[in-house]
Chain A
């Protein structure tokens, strides 16, 4: 378990010192807002409220892909990945540490993006922020866990940036279906739908277990 904390701390400290990953992800999300503005011209504020959950999740998914790719690309420099593979004990704890660091990073980006989108599209998200944060956090656990497992593979293949979305998006469908459902309900002032939350918890559990158990095979011996 100490390994998990050490890797979480290492990743967050590295990110804090450079801040390059977070800035790139945020900038990407803000650019997405502009893209949406041009792609969906002349909307009423009520229409933006309807569209917002879908727009937010589109931005979240692609920003997460950017961040997750970098998460392991960093480890390739100076062969740090070999060092990770030499970590004593179960490599599942390495997985948990990397996934936790990605979870923290993606969550911060998601919160700031939601604030920006609310402001830019004139939708008040302050009143619903608690429910929305809960749904987004649950979905982000799934994204960070499966993303960490797949990024560790994609980063050591040819066309790494291309491969991660292709591997990851089909696996994200359960997360997205439930997350958009829950976000839409919260933003329109309804209580969180039980089924969507249940699905998110089940998917999170499965992805964490699959990642924990199979990460051993993803790092080289």
Chain B
């Protein structure tokens, strides 16, 4: 490797990953501005007459759901790209997608019941959409366990890619089940469009935008860490090889 020492520590050697890493800092700056605007928008949003202050979870919960699904789609697509092109960078993106997706999904599963307790009167109802989300969460926790239980780098990547693809196959399939059993669902259908009161549209919009940028930022950061780790492992292996030789 011809990189100088300082370069090696901050930027990955893979060209795609190096370009991606360079976007992290500007994105972080943008994120600080957005977070301030988001905090202010949520604070100054009107308090719902029926539900009270708990309704403000709306500015957090649905964007978390979009992030969760986005993360899982990234994992599936990156896994497919890995199987097709056999470039390890795609496998590292898949790891990042799954981990950030699980984080968003966890926060969605935590914030949902807090709202439900205040509005429906109980934390958990076996509503089809809740059940499906819970199962999706399990799918990606299983994905992470599969990665840590598998032996060997290349095989781990292959197995994980297959399971990641299965994961995105399960998303539409689970929604098909919701369609079938939808008579039993109590999840708000068009919360985003239909039932937003005056002054709630802007905070909702900026909440979506901010958490989307948070998602991208964390995804890229996680990807960079994985890429740097791979570089480090390669460097150590080369060092051992040189010593042995």
List chain A positions with a Cβ less than 8 A from chain B. 146, 149-150, 153, 156-159, 163, 166-167, 169-171, 173-174, 177-178, 195-196, 199, 202-203, 206, 210, 214, 217-218, 220
**Which B residues from 97 to 149 make CB contacts under 8 A with A?**
131-132, 135-136, 138-139, 141-142, 145-146, 149
Q: Given the known A-B contacts A169-B138, A170-B142, are A149 and B162 also in contact in the complex, defined by CB atoms under 8 Å?
A: yes
B159 at the interface (CB under 8 A from A): yes
CB of B176 within 8 A of CB of A167, answer no
Q: Is the interface of B mostly helix, strand, loop or mixed?
A: helix
Q: Given the known A-B contacts A206-B169, A210-B169, are A171 and B139 also in contact in the complex, defined by CB atoms under 8 Å?
A: yes
Q: Is the interface of A mostly helix, strand, loop or mixed?
A: helix
Shortest Cβ distance from B175 into chain A, in angstroms? 10
Q: Given the known A-B contacts A174-B177, A199-B176, A206-B169, are A157 and B150 also in contact in the complex, defined by CB atoms under 8 Å?
A: yes
**Closest 4 CB pairs between A and B?**
A157-B149, A170-B138, A170-B139, A153-B159
Shortest Cβ distance from B161 into chain A, in angstroms? 7
List chain B positions with a Cβ less than 8 A from chain A. 83, 131-132, 135-136, 138-139, 141-142, 145-146, 149-151, 155, 158-159, 161-163, 165-166, 169-170, 173-174, 176-177, 180-181
* Further 7 A-B residue pairs, CB within 8 A, beyond A166-B142, A169-B138, A214-B162: A146-B166, A156-B151, A166-B145, A199-B176, A210-B166, A217-B161, A218-B159
Q: Given the known A-B contacts A156-B151, A167-B163, A218-B162, are A206 and B173 also in contact in the complex, defined by CB atoms under 8 Å?
A: yes
B170 partner residues in chain A, CB cutoff 8 A: 170-171, 174
B159 partner residues in chain A, CB cutoff 8 A: 153, 157, 217-218
A-B pair count, CB < 8 Å, reads 81
CB of A173 within 8 A of CB of B135, answer yes
Shortest Cβ distance from A99 into chain B, in angstroms? 15
CB of A199 within 8 A of CB of B162, answer no
A178 partner residues in chain B, CB cutoff 8 A: 177
Docked pose: A218 CA to B159 CA in angstroms? 6
B169 partner residues in chain A, CB cutoff 8 A: 206, 210
Docked pose: A179 CA to B20 CA in angstroms? 46
A217 partner residues in chain B, CB cutoff 8 A: 83, 158-159, 161-162
B136 partner residues in chain A, CB cutoff 8 A: 170
CB of A173 within 8 A of CB of B174, answer yes
A202 partner residues in chain B, CB cutoff 8 A: 173, 176
Out of A157, A171, A203, which one reaches B166, CB within 8 Å? A171
